Amino acid sequence: MRRQKLFYIKERDNPQLGTYFMKCGPMSKTAAKEYERGSLYGSNVMHSFSTEEEYLKAISKLEDAGEKVQ
């Protein structure tokens, strides 16, 4: 049985650059945890979405709110 991958957006908080978001797309929970821990400077929070539709809506909301999305 194959596990369903979730869609992720990484919220990156960098003391010099401020907060911004990165589209990560589908990945395993294990990979997402690595991205969350993987920063030596600042912090990361991974936001998960069960469907691509929810993921794209969240990106659209962030962009509409004027957030930096990469």
What tens digit of pLDDT does each residue of 35-69 get? 888 777 889 999 999 999 999 999 999 999 999 99
Look up the pTM and report it: 0.88
CA distance 26 to 36: 15
pLDDT per position as a tens digit, 11-40: 999 888 899 999 999 999 999 999 888 777
1, part of any domain: no
58, part of any domain: yes
Asked if 56 and 23 touch (Cβ cutoff 8 Å), the reply is no
Helix (H, G, I), strand (E, B) or coil at 39: coil
> Is 37 buried (19+), middle (13-18) or exposed (0-12) by CB count in 10 A?
exposed
17, part of any domain: yes
51, part of any domain: yes
69, part of any domain: no
46, part of any domain: yes
Range of the domain at 49: 6-64
How many distinct structural domains can be found in the chain? 1
DSSP 43-65: EEEEEEESSHHHHHHHHHHHHHT
DSSP state of 69: B
pLDDT the model gives residue 41: 83
pLDDT the model gives residue 19: 94
